[in-house]
């Protein structure tokens, strides 16, 4: 049997052992976390430098620190506030942060930089929608652009194509020429164009009513000659007074 003194020594030894192990674990974990943070800052610094080669080393370090913290608060009140906010927004991929930029030009540049980086992700969310909702969603994504040429700066080729087709549709609508819908290659936008741009003399279902009148005047279906299925085509029904302008 161990005497009392020996038991105390054993207990103290066990306590010291576990305390040492815990300390070593804490230091290793801390060093690992610090290494991860440092590597993250290096990656952010490289990305910022590629996006804006004109930034100084001091700016790159400060902006990277702010981006790691995920806040634009350190940017506020600085002489280079706009560039700082834009850099954090770019790294975070959050165009909402750009709104903190009071200068219109700085805001525009900030929002464009984020869009170039995140366009694929943003327009993918629109893909879940249809009709006007789809078109308006794309409008919200590309709202900072006002001409087709702006689209070429997008990093993703698919995003470039959709952006260009978005402006193609605006041209088609302005000229109101259904034939120009052929210039729109994005399937959903092409369908949207064909649905909205109706040739004035076109009668797709051959019922004697133009597509334009069916959609806007009589509210009948321009693809089905007998909208209500009563045995009379829509044109005959209009002549007999069974369908009236609405």
- What pLDDT, on a 0 to 100 scale, did the predictor assign at position 219? 87
Torsion of CA 115, 160, 126, 179, to 10 degrees: 140
Which bin fits 219, alpha (ψ -120 to 50), beta or left (φ > 0)? left
| C-beta separation of 186 from 135 below 8 A | no
Q: Please tell me the distance from the alpha carbon of residue 58 to that of residue 48, in angstroms, as a whole number.
A: 12
Q: How does pLDDT run along the chain (246 residues), one tens digit per residue?
A: 556 667 666 676 667 766 666 665 555 555 444 443 344 555 777 777 887 788 888 888 888 888 888 788 999 998 999 988 998 898 888 989 999 888 888 899 899 999 988 899 898 999 899 999 999 999 999 999 989 999 998 989 999 999 999 999 999 998 888 889 999 999 999 999 988 887 777 888 889 988 878 877 888 888 888 888 888 899 998 898 888 888
The token pair at 212 is: 């334009």
- What pLDDT, on a 0 to 100 scale, did the predictor assign at position 38? 42
pTM confidence score: 0.62
Helix 104-126 / helix 131-141 crossing angle, nearest 10 deg: 150
- The number of C-alpha atoms within 13 Å of 85 and in the hemisphere containing its C-beta is 23
| C-beta separation of 230 from 237 below 8 A | yes
Torsion of CA 168, 173, 177, 182, to 10 degrees: 30
């Amino acid at each position: 049997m161990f005497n009392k003194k020996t038991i105390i020594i054993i207990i103290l030894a066990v306590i010291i052992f576990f305390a040492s192990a815990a300390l070593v674990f804490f230091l290793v974990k801390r060093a690992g976390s610090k290494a991860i943070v440092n590597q993250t800052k290096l990656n952010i610094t490289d990305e910022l430098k590629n996006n804006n080669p004109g930034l100084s080393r001091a700016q790159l370090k400060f902006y990277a620190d702010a981006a790691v913290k995920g806040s634009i608060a350190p940017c506020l009140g600085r002489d280079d506030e706009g560039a700082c906010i834009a850099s954090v927004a770019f790294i975070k991929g959050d165009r909402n942060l750009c709104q903190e930029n009071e200068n219109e030009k700085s805001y525009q540049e900030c929002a464009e930089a984020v869009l170039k980086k995140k366009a694929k992700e943003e327009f993918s969310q629109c893909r879940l929608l249809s009709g006007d909702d789809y078109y308006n969603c794309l409008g919200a994504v590309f709202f900072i652009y006002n001409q087709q040429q702006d689209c070429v700066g997008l990093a993703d080729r698919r995003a470039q194509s959709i952006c260009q087709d978005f402006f193609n549709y605006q041209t088609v609508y302005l000229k109101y020429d259904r034939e120009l819908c052929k210039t729109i290659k994005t399937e959903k936008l092409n369908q949207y164009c064909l649905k909205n741009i109706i040739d004035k003399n076109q009668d797709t279902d051959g019922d004697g009513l133009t597509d334009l009148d069916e959609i806007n005047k009589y509210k009948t279906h321009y693809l089905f000659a007998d909208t209500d299925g009563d045995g009379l085509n829509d044109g005959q029904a209009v002549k007999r007074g069974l369908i009236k302008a609405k």
